[in-house]
Amino acid sequence: MATFLYKLGRLSFRRRHFVALIWVALLTLAGVGAASAPAAGNSSFSIPGTEAQKAFDLLEQRFPGTSADGATARVVFKAPSGEKMTDPGNKATVQDTVKELSDGSEVVRVTDPYQAKAVSKDGTIAYAQVSYKVSGMELDDAAKDALKDSAQDARKAGLTVEIGGDALQAVPHTGSSEVIGIAVAAVVLVITFGSLVAAGLPLLTALIGVGIGVSAITGLASALDLGTTTSTLAMMIGLAVGIDYALFIVSRYRAELAEGREREEAAGRAVGTAGSAVVFAGLTVVIALVGLSVVNIPMLTKMGIAAAGTVAIAVLIALTMIPALLGYAGRRVKPMGEKGKLFGRSKPRDEAAEPAGPAKPNLGTRWASFVVRRPLAVLLLGVIGLGAAAVPATSLELGLPDDGSQPTSTTQRRAYDLLSEGFGPGFNGPLMVVVDAKNSDDPKAVFTRTGDEIKGLKDVVTVTPAQPNKAGDTATITVIPGSKPSSVTTENLVHGIRDAGADIKADTDASVLVTGSTAMNIDVSEKLNDALVPYLVLVVGLAFLLLIVVFRSILVPLKAALGFLLSVMAALGAVVAVFQWGWLSGLMGVEQTGPVMSMMPIFMVGVVFGLAMDYEVFLVTRMREAYVHGEKPAQAVVTGFRHGARVVTAAAVIMMAVFAGFIGSSESMVKMIGFGLAIAVFFDAFIVRMAIVPAVLALLGRKAWWLPKWLDRALPNVDVEGEGLRATSGDDDGDRELVRV
């Protein structure tokens, strides 16, 4: 591996014009493809295998044209103080609004509050429900604008009008978060390299890689039914790893220059050593992202595969375009320790006037030396600290966000509050019960029995009469719970209805299915929970095998996996403390606490595992390289930190900056993802990799690198540490003549 990449790096350095032309051509081709591709609508959303999805599919068959899974909007009206919605003037305004709403081409029906008895008992609040042909993600912008305009007309007449439901659902935008992340990355890179030229290389290549990846996703979006959230994830992950991978290779290139190698040789060795780590680090990220397909949620699978493709592009660019750009940069990229001015110029040192003395150990060396002297204390402190941070995770409650978790400044949240005020909190999450009595002898009796049994359950406020289809073999029943949609009580009610349906099935051969947005959210949460353990086993297992090949050790990969689990649990604990318990919620801009998004644990496992293994590979390969070249285990740990700690720190800060930019989003889901990933990277990079890892390796000594002989013979020799490069380059570290650059 190292020898092949060494040759690739030298070839890219020499043939830099050709390499640069290829990548520019690919970027142009992807851009043209994205620009000429048909505009893609929002990705369709389906959850195969869930009861809620089966009910939706059944409704499409038995109630054709009703668009059971179409978007809905609840236009909520509140009368001015001292008035009621039944007053003639207010009633006329509402009916005019209903008529105006009915004119949309995507509208299926609009209910009149006065005919549907959708007026609160005190007469101050009423609502009209609008049903659409397509889902909220697919709804045309013109339909959304018409909905908003109708509400505005009613406001002019003096009513308070707010709009709830999923019709106004939009892909969350984070504003300038990407720009903020890039700006922070640029500052960190300049501080790390001391040169705008060296700092600009990782940024340039990362932007090119993300440009190719996102353009390709945009070009294929229509054909593959990819939503805009797919490109958002690909951009976030691709930008972060693209900068990191290039950072490691440029840093190794400068270290090779500092050892006296010519520039082409330094580029080859940088790609052969750091590039080997990049390949395996990228593989772990790809495994984690592609593994999301285990969940069997099509949208999540597509997001993972698209992001994995962008990571693969980032790896290829780091291995080829970085050495090519280093060839263009020439002497403007200085050797390690020879920092110049920001534009890459340095004042040569007068060696006669300033005789070289022993170099002062850098911070990484001093920290590693401390850890090696006090490994047990550092290990216990790190484990206890992360364990304390993970304690809140024991109270983790999962769910999917609804309008009740929106900021109070949004119309969706205000509509949610008005409906709770007028009709009770459960009115925001009605359950639709679908009764399939096609195989029953007496469908009407089944419909009646189902309604009666539901009325006898706890937390049920209203049960509407069964509404059969034309054939009379299927009916729908609407159930209004007494609790809010995201509550555990409502979840128990859904399971209670399904248990009652099982008894009805046994007696009458009729199926009772529960659906609606609330039931769908519950089913998705359970599906994600059930998939978490298989996903962990798959991803951690494959990565464990990969790391055995990389490190040729059993205990080092085991330690890496256990450390990752510790950091993820601590990060989940922090998420629970902020978003569920409300700690520091004001500082984070969290207006409404509640259950943690059900996708969060599996999403964090997928993304953070890949990134955590990046730091593990880059840091520990340096240690193994020193160990293989004859250093004692403790000294190898210090050597690895001397060369890698600064770069890993910079990479982690960049990654945290990219993710933390999403905390400023107005969407609670995006805010939660940004905070969770940022704090997870902090825990993993600075506590696990920088403290626990060297402490464990110091305690294990030579045992850390133990591998059974039979396994050693069976495993392929990938030579990540670059041992084979000595023979290839024809030099020896012991008697190599230093060449001034």
> How high is the pLDDT of residue 737?
36
Mean pLDDT lowest for which of 51-65, 223-237, 270-284, 666-680? 223-237
List the beta strands (DSSP E) in 609-716.
Answer: none
- Beta-strand relationship, 125-132 and 460-463: unpaired
Most confident of 7-21, 174-188, 590-604, 639-653: 7-21
In terms of DSSP H, where are the helices of 71-133? 88-101
- Beta-strand relationship, 107-110 and 72-78: unpaired
> How high is the pLDDT of residue 191?
80
- Identify any residues that bridge with 562 across adjacent strands, giving them in sequence order: none
Average pLDDT, integer, range 155-180: 72
Average pLDDT, integer, range 381-400: 88
Identify whether the C-beta of residue 130 lies closer than 8 Å to the C-beta of residue 75: yes
Contacts of residue 210, defined as CB under 8 A and 6 or more positions apart, other chains included, come to: 234, 235, 238, 239, 242, 310, 314
Q: Would the pLDDT of 355 be above 50?
A: no
Average pLDDT, integer, range 329-358: 56
Q: Would the pLDDT of 381 be above 60?
A: yes
Residue 348 confidence class, pLDDT cut points 50, 70, 90? very low
Q: Would the pLDDT of 215 be above 60?
A: yes
Residue 317 confidence class, pLDDT cut points 50, 70, 90? very high
Identify whether the C-beta of residue 647 lies closer than 8 Å to the C-beta of residue 617: no
Span 392-407, pLDDT tens digits: 988 887 777 677 777 7
Place of tokens 């309008």: 403
Closest CA to 510 of 434, 431, 430: 434
Residue type, 561: A
> How high is the pLDDT of residue 388?
94
Tokens of 698: 């110091």
How many Cα atoms are found within 13 Å in the side-chain-facing hemisphere of 529?
14
- Number of Cβ within 10 Å of residue 407's Cβ equals 15
Mean pLDDT lowest for which of 51-55, 219-223, 382-386, 699-703? 219-223
Residue 665 confidence class, pLDDT cut points 50, 70, 90? low
Contacts of residue 367, defined as CB under 8 A and 6 or more positions apart, other chains included, come to: 641, 645, 690
pTM, full prediction = 0.77
- Beta-strand relationship, 398-399 and 596-597: parallel
Q: Would the pLDDT of 316 be above 90?
A: yes
> How high is the pLDDT of residue 370?
92
Buried residues in 185-221 as b, exposed as e (16+ CB within 10 A): bbebbeebbbbbbbbbbbbbbbbbbbbbbbbbbbbbb
Q: Would the pLDDT of 21 be above 90?
A: yes
Distance CA 238, CA 210 (A): 6
- Per cent of the chain over pLDDT 70 is 87
Identify whether the C-beta of residue 294 lies closer than 8 Å to the C-beta of residue 306: no
Distance CA 303, CA 603 (A): 11
Mean pLDDT lowest for which of 46-50, 430-434, 521-525? 46-50
Mean pLDDT lowest for which of 218-227, 377-386, 435-444? 218-227
Distance CA 466, CA 436 (A): 12
Closest CA to 387 of 632, 620, 211, 567: 567
> How high is the pLDDT of residue 496?
92
Phi, psi of 721 (to 5 degrees): -80, -5
Identify whether the C-beta of residue 667 lies closer than 8 Å to the C-beta of residue 365: no
Phi, psi of 72 (to 5 degrees): -130, 150
Q: Would the pLDDT of 722 be above 70?
A: no
Closest CA to 519 of 57, 56, 52, 53: 52
Residue 389 confidence class, pLDDT cut points 50, 70, 90? very high
Closest CA to 555 of 697, 415, 676: 697
Q: Would the pLDDT of 719 be above 70?
A: no
Closest CA to 267 of 239, 246, 290: 246
What angle, rounded to 10 degrees, do the helices at 375-390 and 363-373 form?
100
Mean pLDDT lowest for which of 52-61, 138-147, 433-442? 138-147
- Beta-strand relationship, 511-515 and 431-436: antiparallel
Distance CA 7, CA 150 (A): 67
SS3 77: strand
What angle, rounded to 10 degrees, do the helices at 228-258 and 177-193 form?
0
Identify whether the C-beta of residue 651 lies closer than 8 Å to the C-beta of residue 248: yes
How many Cα atoms are found within 13 Å in the side-chain-facing hemisphere of 620?
32
- Per cent of the chain over pLDDT 90 is 13
Span 488-507, pLDDT tens digits: 888 899 999 999 989 888 88
Distance CA 79, CA 91 (A): 10
> How high is the pLDDT of residue 579?
85
Closest CA to 243 of 282, 202, 215, 208: 202
Going from the C-alpha of 662 to that of each of 42, 309, 531, the distances in angstroms are 21, 22, 26
Tokens of 392: 């809140």
> How high is the pLDDT of residue 695?
93
Average pLDDT, integer, range 364-373: 88
Span 532-557, pLDDT tens digits: 888 888 878 887 888 888 788 889 88
SS3 166: coil
> How high is the pLDDT of residue 65?
64
229-235 contacts at long range (C-beta below 8 A, 24 or more positions apart): 229/43, 229/171, 229/299, 229/303, 230/43, 230/302, 230/303, 230/306, 230/307, 231/306, 232/171, 233/303, 233/306, 233/307, 234/210, 234/303, 234/306, 234/307, 234/309, 234/310, 235/178, 235/210, 235/310
Start-to-end CA span in the chain (Å)? 28
Closest CA to 699 of 379, 366, 254: 379
Going from the C-alpha of 6 to that of each of 129, 277, 560, the distances in angstroms are 65, 13, 27
Phi, psi of 157 (to 5 degrees): -80, 0
> How high is the pLDDT of residue 618?
78
SS3 107: strand
Q: What integer best gives the mean pLDDT of the chain?
A: 81
Residue 352 confidence class, pLDDT cut points 50, 70, 90? very low
> How high is the pLDDT of residue 193?
74
> How high is the pLDDT of residue 740?
30
Mean pLDDT lowest for which of 295-299, 318-322, 675-679, 709-713? 295-299
Q: Would the pLDDT of 49 be above 90?
A: no
Span 590-649, pLDDT tens digits: 766 777 877 788 878 877 777 777 778 778 877 887 887 788 888 888 988 887 788 888
Q: Would the pLDDT of 273 be above 70?
A: yes
Span 252-261, pLDDT tens digits: 888 888 888 8
> How high is the pLDDT of residue 344?
44
Residue 51 CB burial class (10 angstroms; 0-12, 13-18, ≥19): buried
Give the DSSP per-residue string, 258-274. HTT--HHHHHHHHHHHH
Tokens of 388: 């304390």
- Identify any residues that bridge with 435 across adjacent strands, giving them in sequence order: 475, 512
> How high is the pLDDT of residue 338?
62
